[in-house]
Amino acid sequence: MSRWRAIWQRWFGDASPPHLRTGLWGEAQAATHLRQNGYKVLGQRVRVGVRDEIDLIARQGETLVFVEVKTRASEEWGRPVSAVNRKKRDRLARAAMRYMSRLRTKPPYFRFDVIEVIGQEGLPPTDIRHLQNVFGLPKGYKVPW
């Protein structure tokens, strides 16, 4: 548990802050969306290393899909691809490479997707957009096999 999470729990109890609840709700909606479209969800909020996290990992046929979920209350908060800047892409690629290097069998294909969930916790989502193969590996990354 992080230091700040421990302080939060000491002051406010086990209730998560609103922005974390919204993110968790969006990730659950995205996982449901993937399952409904024939994906097999392998993991949610997967920690790889100390500071890297992958929101969702899924499989579509032979393709391993690393998903970044962006949850917004309305469309006026920006587009999902603009929220995945270079720094975020590098972190996601680093986490994906570490995750794949630990697998026993290497996937023949992999890609990075972004799912945008528009809505609020406690209400059904107003819109879910799944953007496939949004970006490739940044320069300097090599596939570990």
CATH number of the structural domain spanning residue 52: 3.40.1350.10
Rounded CA Rg of the chain: 16
Work out the number of other CB atoms within 10 angstroms of the CB of residue 34.
Answer: 22
Give pLDDT tens digits for 104-141.
888 889 999 999 988 877 777 778 889 898 888 776 66
Please report whether residue 3 resides in a domain: no
Whether the model clears a pTM of 0.85, i.e. scores above it, the answer is: no
Please report whether residue 84 resides in a domain: yes
